[in-house]
Amino acid sequence: MPLRAYFFILFLIFIASSGSIAMLYFYMDPTTALVMAFSLMGMAVFLASSSLLSLTLFFIKKIYYRGDVNLTTIHASIRQAILISVGCILMLGLHSVHSYEARLIAMIWLTLGCIEVMAQAIE
């Protein structure tokens, strides 16, 4: 698949997820279905943030590598964006339950970093 197709698909995911976030924020009443509201909003935020972050990471890598990028670079950017988005959503979850334990936060980021290192070793 060419890189332009990846860019187009990731941009469409970002636009659709951002639209979903706006519609959920303005039109859904969380008092009637709190669990469904939080899960739908979490999925929409995850998809929007990871798709935008993967595009951003790819273009930063393209600048860093002076344009010498290939298909594996976009795969790595998508994987890294997903891991960063999961980490940020976990940090928001910990913040919402007022858990400010520094060792827990460090353990989450170290675990996600180890997952990335293992994925790079497999690749």
**For 6-30, how does the pLDDT look when each residue is reduced to its tens digit (9 = 90+)?**
899 999 999 999 999 999 888 888 7
Structural domain span for residue 99: 3-122
**Distances in Å between the alpha carbon of 93 and those of 28, 85, 88, 99, 100?**
21, 12, 9, 9, 11
8 Å CB contact between 119 and 77: no
| Segment 40-76, tens digit of pLDDT | 889 999 999 999 999 999 999 999 988 888 888 899 9
The Cα 120–Cα 5 span in angstroms is 23
Residue 25: in which H helix or E strand, if any? Answer: helix 3-27
Can you tell me which residue has the tokens 């999925």?
Answer: 43
Count of structural domains within the chain: 1
